[in-house]
Amino acid sequence: MLRCIDHVGHAVHDLDTAVAHYRDVLGAEVVHTETIERDGVREALLAVGDGFVQLLEATRPDSPVARFIERNGEGVHHIGYRVDDVAAALAQARQGGARLVDEEPRPGSRGTMVAFLHPKSMHGVLVELVQEP
Ligand code: CO
């Protein structure tokens, strides 16, 4: 069911600063940027093979990324797994006993469809299922 790690979500205070740091330290290049208003985030995707590092900056104080940083500081926020069929993967997750953040798949960035599984039911890691456009 899991094709590969699509991306690792990394919550940061300031996107431009983090992008510059990833470029200087790791030579990582931005391949996509997007603001997702409903989630209150601005993201930059850095290419890592077939997958990405997804740098996330909050666009408002009540966004989940802002609350995450308030609690934990900057750091790894979630892991996105690429799947062929997010609806089927979500059904399996539900059947397997995961607590769902999203009852139905919903639009993610760059035209993907995504669904999140609650970290309390995933041994402490927020998990995202990602279906490519
Ligand atoms: Co993500």
Please state the rounded mean pLDDT for residues 94-113: 96
User: How far does the centroid of ligand 1 lie from the alpha carbon of residue 109, in Å?
Assistant: 8
- Predicted confidence at residue 19, as pLDDT, reads 98
Candidates 57, 77, 128, 131; catalytic one: 128
- Model confidence at 111, pLDDT cuts 50, 70, 90, reads very high
- Predicted confidence at residue 73, as pLDDT, reads 98
Which residues crowd ion ligand 1, with CB under 5 Å?
A: 9, 80, 128
Q: pLDDT digits over 17-35, tens only? A: 999 999 999 999 999 999 9
pTM summary value: 0.95
Candidates 10, 57, 77, 78; catalytic one: 78
Beta bridge pairs of residue 10: 55, 76
Percent of the chain with pLDDT over 90: 99
Cβ-Cβ contacts under 8 Å for 49 (sequence gap 6 or more): none
Of residues 84, 80, 88, 92, the one with CA closest to residue 129: 80
